[in-house]
A and B are shown apart, each in its own frame.
Chain A
Amino acid sequence: MEAAGVSTVAARQRLARQRLVPYLLVAPAVVVLAFVFAYPVVSLVVDSLSSPGLLGKTDHGLQNYQAVVRDPMFRRSLLNNLRLFVAVPVMTVIAVLVAALLFERVRGWRFYRSIVFLPYVLAIPVVGIIFSYMLQRNGLVNEVLRGVGLDALAKDWLGDSGLAIWSVWSAIVWQQLGFGVVLFLARLGSVDPSLYEAAMVDRAGWWARFRHITLPHLAPVIEFFVTLSLINMLSWVFNYVYVMTNGGPVNSTYVLELLIYQSAFRDDLPNIAAALSVVVLMFAVVLLSVQAYVRRRIERMQG
């Protein structure tokens, strides 16, 4: 402790500067985040409540939302996002089973792990283009089907309005499955091996070990993967659709993201696009809240 008055002032100044340090450290990141997220969110909400034709004023502020909800394309797009949601349980079940198999050190497990993860690092447009060519009328898939005598199954995978969204679906599952496998496998690697050894001594079968050791340990990671995948299906599928079908045939593969993109950049309806964006954001918030609830439940179950 300094006794002299002058050095007390200096010490106080130093302390004040010390207090400032953490704010200076977070400042660059906070400025970028404000620029990229905070301002756009505020601006989005304001835009969604106003209409450009009426000098920024609407009768009751919700006209854009009404227009969105009445638009049949909105319902169709939402329905397609929900169809993509179906991929999540499918991917989760397959990925958990594959991870459990690989974890038992099946011959060649490292090879399988590397292979299944490979699609995940490819650019989505690359995946989309490859699948578009494979799924063409005379593409590889139909050639193979005809080759083995299953001509009836050879369909116009991307040209048929009933099938196209499921073709996009399959490209997404193909690319994202490996993420789940690798995630689950890494989590299993940190499970105490003595648990499995004890189960072996007790002559517990594969299913019993899976049910009582593997699944409970995976529960938090499964919850993470499911949430992340649902959010992906809601808000990161634009690239697949844009590259593979661009919404067609006859608008059958529109998803919410594509509808936002087209409203904003093709139809020049920024306020409608803003209202749609707010809807998607709220959807994401709901998913996150459900996840937080499920996480609390899992934590309580595991004590």
Chain B
Amino acid sequence: MTVRSRRSGGLGPVTALRQVPLAVMALVVLVPLYFLVVSSFKTSADFAASPLGLPRHPTLEAYHKALAGHRIGLLFLNSLVISVSSVAVATAFGALAAFALAKMRFRGREPLFRLMLPLMVVPPIALLVPQFKLMSALGLVGNRLSVIVLYVGIMLPFTIYLLRNFFAGVPDELLEAARLDGCGTLATLVRVILPLSGPALMTASVVNFVFAWNELLISLVFLQSESQRTLVVGLTLFRSRFSLDVPVLMAGLAIATIPVFLVYLFGQRFLVRGMLSGSSR
């Protein structure tokens, strides 16, 4: 086989051989997702008869049951409010700090920036008890604000790290020109730097949104009333009630997955970029 045909991916024996491990991998990845989607379109009798096969009579019954009476809509809204507001606050605070860290000289700049990497890997559970005591002293347990503050804190190190590295690449001449035009600090940030930083802001928001939407531990501990629960917590508890009606449970999981699936479809390249920026220096 020549070098050229190997590169062009013709169906020679070597190329065909390469498809085998990849196809096996794709199968292993897809089977659990197949189980999720296919089960959600079955009746529970259908599921009991054949957990593996395609639904004999595909039905939306499980989705109706999951949506009716179990307040999935409310849980969905709770998750949305918490995720969107914590992403917004983290991006705003992160951009302010990143601007100073990227473009200004001040005492403590280097140590502060160097702190971001270790903060990214602090195990969340380790700090949970003191955070809980602090929040209850402030009367914030059971208040969405507590979860939002904690999420913002967990998001900030990564957000600052990413935005600072991006902002540092904005040419100083542009900032100087804005200053000569009479722009103050905030105006320079909003009118010059942020419009140039779309991709970085997008990456930070996508990564942070996926984190907040999927987070279980903090919202489980801090939001105990049923009306405030987030979707992921709701489903984890919902599970024990519906452990016998698997299709309804799977329908609930599918509904909960829609927002992150959309983010995956449209934001995949931003997610990837965000991960790479974490590994570069």
Residues of A within 8 A of B (CB): 19, 21-23, 25-26, 28-30, 32-33, 35-37, 39-41, 43-44, 47, 97-98, 101-102, 104-108, 111-112, 114-119, 121-127, 129-131, 133-134, 138-140, 143-144, 147, 174, 178-179, 182-183, 186-187, 200, 203, 220-221, 224-225, 228, 231, 234-236, 238-239, 242-243, 257, 260-261, 264-265, 270, 273-274, 277-278, 280-281, 284-285, 287-288
Contacts and interface: CB of A to CB of B under 8 A. Distances in A.
B185 A277 contact: no
A98 B22 contact: yes
Interface string B259-270: 011011000100
Given A112-B26, A236-B123, A260-B125, A25 B130 contact: no
12 contacts: A22-B109, A25-B96, A30-B112, A39-B134, A101-B18, A122-B214, A125-B232, A129-B235, A174-B29, A221-B279, A224-B278, A270-B129
Contacts of A147: 52
Contacts, number: 259
Nearest to A127: B32
B33 interface: yes
Which of B104, B122, B246 has the most C-beta atoms of chain A within 10 angstroms of its own C-beta? B122
Given A32-B153, A281-B126, A143 B52 contact: yes
Specify the main secondary structure of chain B where it touches its partner: helix
The 8 closest A-B pairs by CB, nearest first: A36-B153, A235-B123, A40-B130, A123-B214, A25-B100, A224-B279, A277-B126, A29-B97
Given A115-B29, A235-B125, A281-B123, A124 B97 contact: no
Nearest to A132: B239
A234 B123 contact: yes
Contact of B260 (A21, A123, A187, A260): A123
B256 to A, nearest CB: 6
A108 B19 CA distance: 9
Given A33-B153, A200-B3, A238-B217, 15 more contacts: A26-B97, A26-B100, A28-B97, A37-B127, A40-B130, A44-B126, A104-B18, A121-B210, A121-B261, A123-B216, A144-B52, A186-B272, A235-B121, A235-B123, A277-B125
Interface of B: 3, 7, 9, 11, 15, 18-19, 21-22, 25-26, 28-33, 35-36, 39, 51-52, 92-94, 96-97, 99-101, 104-106, 109, 112, 118-119, 121-134, 149-150, 152-154, 156-157, 160, 185, 210, 213-214, 216-217, 221, 232, 235-236, 239, 246, 249-250, 253, 256-257, 260-261, 263-264, 268, 271-273, 275-276, 278-279
